[in-house]
């Protein structure tokens, strides 16, 4: 069984933080820091662990931010600045990697009143662990200073610092504070993306692509214009960046984006699509088979995605598009493609028993692709006696005052932590009216 993700921040990391902070500041109360950091740590998930350790730092580092920043910087592992982040580990020489997330959080909390000094500290930290989440409060609170600093960082010798200029200012960065101003108007970041478009580091270019893809969710025409302007004569590296930046709009079947990539024509030929098995349990993987036969006289570039129409807790279906195949089909060519799709639950997606459906999107086309959809039925594991009791209790649930019986069932459904069949929020505890409570 894989190690839980939350254990990337652990007791060993806390001990290393104590050791190196005490090395750089003899007055540092390492015992108190370690006691505060370990109190309740095991019960927390990863992001909560970073915040918990940040609180321990706030209680033990100097109140003066300049002094605290010097202690943090002196505790860091000496680096050139171009090492792979995944290769750097905390050791005898200093801190690197996951123990630095709480330190970046400390800078974000305590450094807002000293933004110039705080940004210099983040510049040092991001060479050893990303500061992409920590820089965002400075963009909100000190936009002029933050954007001037990020623009300067686009020419920094370290790829980690250059990446921070793009990644830290993404409008919709996962796990990060949403930058609502940039969601409305992304223009402040466009000069930085322009400067990094042909960066020598694939690590940096990947961030630029993801940043543009973020913008595409709110300003599709802007990103299409960007791609159309930068695609002619592009190097292989730039083409890869632009293609990755186009992925959401290609999935959505945006006509102008498809045309920009030579994918605007409808598939000419026949297609037969099937999935097996038609019935499966959550956690299993259906196999997809697609047989294509071209009737065109010219080669056809094809981007084939597929949509899974998931059954939600309400019984309704909502589609999610996944990447399928990218190929060029020669005139008259026949080809059979296969792929499996995991129905395993992940932290961002839950599956509910019922009749799901799949269909194909060939060059952005849904219904116009000419391929019939296929249905599959998912089943949960057999309910236990407790789950059966819960369902019976739902049937008996009294209607609340001024409400309906279905509202009472929904209320009971969201109180229970157990599954299946209850679709529950993972942070809700069982309450008094729940049979599981």
At 77 the pLDDT is 96
- Whether the CB-CB separation of 354 and 395 falls below 8 Å is answered with no
65: helix, coil or strand? helix
State how far Cα 370 lies from the chain centre.
Answer: 33
Give a yes or no: residue 385 inside a domain. Answer: no
Domain boundary among 235, 260, 285: 260
Enumerate residue ranges in the chain where pLDDT < 50: 367-370, 381-437
At 415 the pLDDT is 29
Q: Which CATH number is 47's domain given? A: 1.25.40.290
Distance between CA atoms of residues 62 and 434, nearest Å: 48
Give a yes or no: residue 326 inside a domain. Answer: yes
Give a yes or no: residue 288 inside a domain. Answer: yes
Supply the range of the domain harboring residue 276: 269-379
Per the structure block, which two tokens stand in for 347?
């932290």
Distance between CA atoms of residues 262 and 280, nearest Å: 38
At 371 the pLDDT is 54
Residues 185 and 91 in one domain: yes
Give a yes or no: residue 306 inside a domain. Answer: yes
Residues 101 and 185 in one domain: yes
Give a yes or no: residue 409 inside a domain. Answer: no
Q: How many CB atoms lie within 10 A of CB 134?
A: 30
Residues 319 and 208 in one domain: no
At 396 the pLDDT is 37
At 393 the pLDDT is 34
Give a yes or no: residue 187 inside a domain. Answer: yes
Q: Provide Rg for the chain, Cα atoms.
A: 26
Residues 74 and 188 in one domain: yes
At 426 the pLDDT is 35
Per the structure block, which two tokens stand in for 208?
């630029």
Distance between CA atoms of residues 308 and 318, nearest Å: 8
**Domains held by the chain: number:** 2
At 86 the pLDDT is 79
Domain boundary among 226, 260, 294: 260
At 59 the pLDDT is 98
Give a yes or no: residue 141 inside a domain. Answer: yes
Residues 66 and 203 in one domain: yes
Q: How far apart are the first and last CA of the chain?
A: 29
At 377 the pLDDT is 63
Q: Which CATH number is 360's domain given? A: 2.60.40.10
Residues 353 and 333 in one domain: yes
DSSP per position, 232-277: TT--HHHHHHHHHHTHHHHHTT-HHHHHHTT--SPP-EEEEEEEE-
Residues 51 and 128 in one domain: yes
Domain boundary among 260, 277, 298: 260
Distance between CA atoms of residues 122 and 137, nearest Å: 12
Any idea how long the chain is?
437
Residues 158 and 111 in one domain: yes
Burial of residue 333 (number of CB atoms within 10 Å: 0-12, 13-18, 19+): middle
Give a yes or no: residue 436 inside a domain. Answer: no
Residues 51 and 181 in one domain: yes
At 312 the pLDDT is 86
Residues 162 and 117 in one domain: yes
Residues 139 and 54 in one domain: yes
C-alpha triplet 162, 164, 169: angle, nearest 5°: 120
The answer for 364, left when phi > 0, alpha when psi is -120 to 50, beta otherwise, is: left
State how far Cα 297 lies from the chain centre.
Answer: 42
Residues 71 and 209 in one domain: yes
């Amino acid at each position: 069984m894989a190690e839980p993700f939350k254990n990337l921040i652990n007791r060993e990391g806390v001990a290393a933080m104590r050791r190196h902070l005490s090395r750089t500041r003899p007055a540092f109360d390492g015992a108190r820091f370690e006691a505060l950091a370990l109190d309740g740590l095991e019960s927390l998930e990863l992001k909560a662990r970073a915040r918990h350790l940040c609180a321990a730092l706030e209680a033990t580092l100097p109140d003066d931010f300049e002094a605290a920043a010097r202690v943090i910087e002196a505790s860091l592992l000496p680096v050139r600045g171009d090492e792979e982040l995944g290769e750097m580990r905390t050791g005898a020489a200093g801190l690197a990697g996951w123990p630095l997330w709480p330190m970046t959080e400390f800078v974000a909390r305590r450094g807002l009143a000293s933004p110039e000094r705080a940004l210099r500290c983040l510049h040092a930290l991001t060479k050893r662990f990303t500061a992409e989440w920590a820089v965002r409060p400075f963009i909100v609170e000190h936009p002029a200073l933050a954007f001037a600093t990020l623009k300067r960082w686009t020419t920094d010798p370290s790829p980690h610092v250059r990446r921070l200029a793009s990644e830290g200012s993404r409008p919709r960065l996962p796990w990060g504070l949403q930058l609502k101003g940039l969601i409305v108007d992304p223009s402040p970041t466009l000069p930085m993306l322009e400067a990094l478009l042909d960066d020598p580091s694939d690590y940096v270019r990947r961030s630029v692509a993801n940043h543009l893809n973020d913008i595409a969710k709110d300003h599709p025409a802007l990103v299409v214009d960007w791609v159309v302007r930068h695609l002619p004569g592009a190097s292989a590296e730039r083409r890869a960046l632009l293609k990755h930046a186009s992925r959401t709009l290609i999935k959505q079947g945006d006509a102008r984006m498809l045309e920009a990539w030579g994918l605007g024509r409808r598939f000419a030929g026949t297609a037969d699509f099937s999935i097996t098995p038609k019935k499966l349990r959550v956690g299993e993987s259906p196999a997809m088979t697609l047989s294509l036969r071209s009737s065109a006289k010219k080669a056809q570039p094809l981007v084939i995605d597929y949509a899974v129409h998931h059954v939600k807790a309400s019984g309704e279906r909502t589609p999610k598009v996944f990447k399928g195949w990218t190929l060029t089909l020669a005139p008259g060519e026949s080809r059979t493609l296969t792929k499996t799709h995991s129905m395993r639950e992940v932290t961002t997606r839950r599956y509910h028993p019922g009749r799901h459906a799949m269909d194909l999107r060939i060059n952005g086309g849904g219904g116009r692709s000419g391929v019939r959809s296929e249905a599959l039925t998912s089943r949960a594991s057999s309910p236990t006696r407790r789950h059966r009791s819960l369902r019976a209790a739902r049937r008996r649930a009294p209607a609340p005052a001024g409400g309906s019986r279905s509202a009472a069932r929904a209320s009971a459904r969201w109180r229970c932590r157990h599954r299946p069949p209850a679709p529950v929020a993972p942070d809700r505890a069982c309450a008094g009216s729940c049979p599981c409570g």
